[in-house]
Amino acid sequence: MMRIINYFIENKSLNYVLLIFILFLGINAYQNIPKELFPEISLDKISISGSYAGASADNLDKMAVRDIEDELGNIQGIDKIETVIKPGRFTIILNLINGADKADALNKAKDAIARSRQYLPSDMVEPTAQILMHNRPLIRLSLSSEHMNKGQLIETAKKVKSKISRNPFVSEVKIYGDANQEVSVQVNEEAVRAYGLDPTAIISAVSKLSYIYPIGDIKEGGNYIFLSTVNGKESKEEWESALIKIGEKQVRLGDVANVEISYPQNTTLSTFNGRKNVTLVISKGHEGNSMHISKDLRAFAEEKLAKEFPNVYFNFYQDTSKPVKDRLNTVISNLMFGLVLVFLSMTLLINVRIASVVAMGIPISFAIGIMLLYFMGYSINIVSLLGGLIVIGIVVDDAIVVSENIQRHMNEGLSPKEAVYMGVKEMFLPVTLATLTTVAAFLPLFMLTGEIKNFIILIPIAVVMILLGSLLESFVFLPLHAGELLKKQKNFINWEPLQSKYEAFLHHVIRLKYVFLFTFIVLIPVLSIITVKMLNFQFFPGFDGNYLYITGKSNVDTSIEETEEIAKVLEKYVLANKDTYALKATSTVVGFRRALSGENENGDNMLYITMELYDMKPQSFIDAYINPIFNFSFKFNDPEKIREKHTYDLAQDLKKEILPLMKKYDLEELGVVEDKPGLIKNDIQINFSGKENEKIALAMKRIEAKLSSIPHVKNVSNNAQFGKMEYKLRINAYGEQLGLSEVGIAQALSGYFLDSRKAMTFSDNGVMEIRTKAINKDSETTLTGFMIPTPSGSVVKLTDIVDIKKVRAYEKIEKRDGNTVKSVFANIDKKNTTSVNVLHDIKPLLEEIKDEGIEVNLLGENEKNQQFKNDMIRSLIIAVFLILITLLFIFPKIRYALMVMSVIPFTMLGALLGHMVVGVNLSMPSVIGMLGLAGVVINDGIIMLDFLHGTSDADKFYERAKLRLRPILITSITTFLGLFTLIFYATGQAVILQPIAISIGFGLLWGTVLNLIYLPALYAVVNKIHPSRD
């Protein structure tokens, strides 16, 4: 390998050209690599969805879902099946085992659906299956107008969608509030009775008024003729004047029905800043820069759309490119600030020439890293950026050690060329293997399972790519710079006094080596256990986002118009206090919401208000003055940064203000939710299952009451809420005597009360559905007074021939592996407690409930914690073996490798103390940081033991240990300074990964003490080195 390195040292021209070429590739990769807030995630899940209008959740479960679940249960590779059934629709999620072939599972799921088709209703559309993707929209565009009606606004939205879809980087444009025109035939049952017509025959006759399919063709004498119909009628008047034949009678449709050609009533109503609107949700593809696409869309709307549609207001909101830009600026400024700190520290600790050599290599390392990320198909996002920020201090270690060793040889009198060769030769193996130990520590993160893997995986990828770039730079390009820039010179700081004091201290250590070792081996584990017990654990740390969400639910029988009035009151309050909440925009949806449990719900009684807030004011001198300089924006008074309170505090204030409305409008649920990591919907979720529903309901009430009584627990809710009333019709003896059947009665009623398609027709805008219903469909009197035709030709009142049983079933049914479960949900104030503490408080009650024969399962953070714990144990074992194997390349005797590795568990105390110093809870990222720390702290151990290895004489032992003081201190200090801003000044989503930096930074500082004191003492004990007698 040294031949290749020496070849590059000798061929300077080749070296410079290669360097320029790599920088060009890096810049090109940075310009073209996709930039987004979070990576596009393909989950290890298959989603199956189906619908049947008018069916209750219980009915849909019996007639469709159970059969599909039975077929799906035979598919191999499924970990668990989760089902949610709501009135009219259902969703089945297949959670695959880790490593399962998603394409194969998808095909088998489709086959299972096809096999169950024989059991499904004949008029039910076959359920669809797809691989679940975690896509995030790029931006939303609101269209509103004071001069257009709903239909005109929808048509405008469709035109805008068509234009925006031409952008090559836009993958999808969805219209919320979209609908197609339909022909609605509203049958007047009184008129039907007056004409003496069969009500069932009316519906059948309507279905025959339009035929949209080809009739055939004629080929004659070179003429080719297609045959088709005119596809029904074109106008309301034509439809109403159409003659229909019922038995022996003929009537015009308009005599027995009202016909409307219009857009159907929406199941959701939406507004933007108080104006009714239609929303376009725009998503980007894998390629493309979010910031550039957003900028292009805004310019397109301003320059083109506004002129073409002057009566329409175009407002962009929930622009995810903005946080991408903000976080990119933040990370760039942190990187630049870290570079400055690293450069200054190296200048002070060594000299300006070495600092320059090392600093020159950093952009080269990052250019190689970005280039590799780009070619591997990854993107720049918040996760990969933070991975780069984490590695900024580590990436200089290789360069510092190599350049410092070259400088040492120059100071000893070697020529620059000889010093470069000898310095690189001596450091090649230890530096290469030290880098590989860091890589080995991060590699097992690829083995994480579940959704956490998709979120975290870019951290080890970014770290490994940049570290490999650093290694290449240290042995190919750094020698070139070092040979030209480094000269024989004294360091800025005279290290000899410090080295002498360290040597003197080592004499004391070796004299009392057994006492020191005993102290380290006993005291550190005890202190670590005490510190762990003093710290709280949470899966993810909270962060300050830019959104608040008001979610509400009224009585199940509330109409959408009534719910809209409630939403208006809330919206009016929010807009009136926009300065208080630093409100940028509001978006309100009625008929849909994301519940406190995190589940999406639809219904006339639902409301959901999204509040987009301005950014927080700068919270420190770094944010206010340093970041604007180092990210080159120079925005010292950014008008977007005006919010003075954190979203958590604003959420508490808002909740207090709107809570009285809950009682005033008799709302079942009203809450305020902040942004949170999407991996966990609820901090606490407790599932109950069993055969005795009454016992389960009572147990849930007890748990809810207990949770509500615990301080700092909020948003307690459940999924066992009753839905709308259901009337079950049973034919009585009189009905049977008349020759009526359940099927005949159902068919007669469905044409009037089931809003379903009866036929199709065409319009200028495409296909239109023809639907029928009773003109007074939504009246109980219409139902009870409905006249049913009998086989003899007479009619009879519905209530005379059926018994009506009134039941109120659950609003939705949730199942796990085919078994119905009821759940209690809660979230917590993470500033003051953790889910672990809360679950500990309710554990006695849960045990009581289990003793009553009810099955209890803990999900939420608890489930993720258990999964993560198992993953990390496996990852730690793999990391230990990989590090051990790497160390054995340097130290053939396993005892030396184990000596270096013995430092790893002791460094955890530093990581734990770091969390206490910064005031941050332990979390999942903390543990990942500790795993990475294992590879980082080993590097200094290698540097120390590599020089001590083979030493048996005390004087040589002291001399060699003293020589390693400077590189160990310098690499540790520069690594910590590189992480400095992320440790102490993390903002926004960066807070999620702050614990990683704390674990590595503080763990490394403590690890430095261990490598300078504990490791020499251990080496002296193992090799029986005794103190000098002088």
- Residue 516: per-residue pLDDT: 84
Taking all residues of the chain, what is their mean pLDDT, rounded to a whole number? Answer: 85
- pLDDT value, residue 123: 74
Quote the pLDDT of residue 265.
64
Q: Indicate if the pLDDT at residue 831 is higher than 70.
A: yes
Helix residue ranges, H only, 919-1023: 924-948, 954-963, 965-984, 994-1009, 1015-1022
Looking at mean pLDDT, say which of 6-10, 60-64, 335-339 comes out highest.
60-64
Torsion of CA 215, 216, 221, 224, to 10 degrees: 90
From residue 772, alpha-carbon distances to 89, 260, 608, 769 in Å are 21, 11, 31, 10
- What single-letter DSSP state applies at residue 748? H
Specify whether the CB–CB gap between 376 and 521 falls below 8 A.
no
| pLDDT for 41 | 67
For residue range 151-195, list pLDDT tens digits in order: 788 889 889 999 999 888 888 888 876 666 788 888 888 888 888
**Burial (CB count <10 Å: 0-12, 13-18, 19+), residue 372:** buried
Per-residue pLDDT, averaged over 92-109, amounts to: 87
Reported CATH class of domain 42-134: alpha beta
Count Cα atoms within 13 angstroms, Cβ side, for 235: 3
Domains of the chain: which residue ranges? 1-40+322-490, 42-134, 142-179+284-319, 182-199+223-262+724-810, 495-534+891-1030, 544-676
pLDDT tens across 947-991, in order?
787 788 888 888 888 888 888 888 888 888 878 888 888 776 678
Q: Do domains 42-134 and 544-676 have the same CATH topology?
A: yes
Per residue in 120-134, pLDDT (tens digit) is 887 788 899 988 776
Q: Do the bridges between strand 243-246 and strand 802-810 make them parallel or antiparallel, or are there none, so unpaired?
A: unpaired
| pLDDT > 70: percent of the chain | 96
38-62: average pLDDT? 82
Dump pLDDT digits (tens) for 568-583.
Answer: 999 999 999 999 999 9
Backbone angles phi, psi at 759, to 5 degrees: -165, 180
Q: Which of 379-383, 699-703, 770-774 has maximum average pLDDT?
A: 699-703
State pLDDT tens for residues 836-849. 889 999 999 999 99
Q: pLDDT (tens digit, 9 = 90+) per residue, 671-702?
A: 898 877 666 778 899 999 888 888 888 999 99
Would you state the pLDDT for residue 40? Answer: 67
- Return the pLDDT at 267: 66
Output the pLDDT for position 88: 84
Q: Looking at the domain 544-676, which fold is it?
A: Alpha-Beta Plaits (3.30.70)
CATH fold label, 182-199+223-262+724-810: 3.30.2090
Is 910 a residue whose pLDDT tops 90?
A: yes
The pLDDT assigned to 773 comes to 85
**CATH topology for 495-534+891-1030?**
Multidrug efflux transporter AcrB transmembrane fold (1.20.1640)
Q: Label the pairing between strands 600-613 and 547-553.
A: antiparallel
Confidence of residue 1003 (pLDDT cuts 50, 70, 90): very high
- Note the pLDDT of residue 1007: 92
Residue among 453, 366, 349 nearest 403 (CA): 349
Are 348 and 486 a contacting pair, CB within 8 Å? no
> Worst-scoring range by mean pLDDT, 2-16, 641-655, 851-865, 919-933?
2-16
pLDDT > 70? residue 22: yes
Task: Please give the class, per CATH, of domain 1-40+322-490.
Answer: mainly alpha
Contact 880, 430 (CB under 8 A): no
> Per the structure block, which two tokens stand in for 795?
């009619």
Report the alpha-carbon distance of residue 79 to residue 93 in Å, rounded. Answer: 11
Tell me, what's the pLDDT at 24? 92
User: Is pLDDT of 239 > 90?
Assistant: no
Which among 886, 976, 984, 873 is positioned nearest to 931, based on CA atoms? 873
Amino acid letter, residue 446: F
Q: What is the pTM of this model?
A: 0.76
Instruction: Supply the pLDDT for residue 580.
Output: 92
Number of H helices, E strands in the chain: 40, 34
Confidence of residue 607 (pLDDT cuts 50, 70, 90): very high
pLDDT at 1029 over 60: no
pLDDT of residue 363: 85
> What share of the chain has pLDDT > 90, as a percent?
16
So what's the pLDDT on residue 301? 92
Average pLDDT over residues 57-79: 87
Give the integer Cα–Cα distance in Å for 360 and 357. 5
